[in-house]
Amino acid sequence: MAGPQNDHRQSYICVTCGTQHARTVQPPEVCAICADARQFVGLDGQQWTTLEQLQPSHRNTIQKEEPSLYSIFTEPGFAIGERAFLLQTEKGNVLWDCLALIDKATIDAIHNLGGIAAIAISHPHYYTTMIEWSLAFDNAPIYLHSHERSWVMRRHENIQFWSGEKQRLLDDLLLLNTPGHFDGYQVLHWPAGADGRGVLLSGDQPQVCMDLRWVSFMYSYPNYIPLGPGKVQEIVRLLDSSEFDRIYGAFPRRTVSADAKQVVKRSAERFLKAISS
């Protein structure tokens, strides 16, 4: 966002993970999110960009996934390469997860779909430019779990931290805290999705596999560190309280279309067997 003419600070964006940091004159020495064991600093070392540098070379594509649900992804791929979702409800629209790129074309397209009333993000790897998105849509509140407070690289009053296992969102949506990949990891349950059979927007946990019949559970995906059995069992237990037949994962086309709750259970059994053998 534009500042005073004599303010030469910028909100630098990590090229590897897409996280936008607090305004500084010079880029930070390292992205704390990428220096963590769950992520990585790129093979070419720490690199930075800005939103103004990103906008001319990239664009967002919005694609309808099912009635009232749209995916948003950046082309060509940038940073981790996740997709965000716009979920339309009678109480307003929710942006689930986030992308580093936001531009006028994206803002206009989303306004045509009803705008954004609230933002919720699964975990720090997808916080990206969440403040820019909030400011672009009338200061839409950003719902993050309180356990992730220390991972917010650009703090802002529009962030609303919540605690505990469950948080209602726009009446009929539910945020569920499922610790594992991060302590404050959250998923979004949409009971009206999949023709009333229920949808889980899961981000990275459970992660929809390349074989769409399965999901997986990892502490670090790029560094191949699995979750322990206790964490996996706890995630399954917490998800068991919600009904869902479909899972939309973090990446384009990574969707479990049907029987998703049983997919989670049998995937957990397979995972636990593999790490115990």
Q: Residue 83: what pLDDT?
A: 98
Q: Residue 5: what pLDDT?
A: 62
Q: Is residue 21, in this structure, part of any structural domain at all?
A: no
To which H or E segment does residue 120 belong?
strand 118-120
Q: Is residue 135, in this structure, part of any structural domain at all?
A: yes
Q: Is residue 38, in this structure, part of any structural domain at all?
A: no
**Cα–Cα distance between 255 and 244 in angstroms, integer?**
13
Q: Is residue 69, in this structure, part of any structural domain at all?
A: yes
Q: Per the structure, how many domains does the chain have?
A: 1
Q: Is residue 113, in this structure, part of any structural domain at all?
A: yes
To which H or E segment does residue 53 belong?
helix 51-54
Q: Residue 2: what pLDDT?
A: 47
Q: Please tell me whether the overall predicted TM-score, pTM, comes out greater than 0.75 for this model.
A: yes
Q: Is residue 94, in this structure, part of any structural domain at all?
A: yes
Q: Residue 1: what pLDDT?
A: 46
Q: Is residue 26, in this structure, part of any structural domain at all?
A: no
Domain assignment of residue 253, given as a range: 53-276
From 104, 166, 111, 163, select the one nearest 137 (Cα to Cα).
111
* pLDDT beneath 70, residues of the chain: 1-6
Q: Is residue 180, in this structure, part of any structural domain at all?
A: yes
| pLDDT tens digits along 165-212 | 999 999 899 999 999 999 999 999 999 999 999 999 999 999 999 999
SS3 52: helix
SS3 215: strand
Q: Residue 171: what pLDDT?
A: 81
Q: Residue 216: what pLDDT?
A: 98
The CATH number assigned to the domain holding 76 equals: 3.60.15.10
Distances (CA, A) of 136 to 94, 106, 129, 140: 14, 10, 11, 8
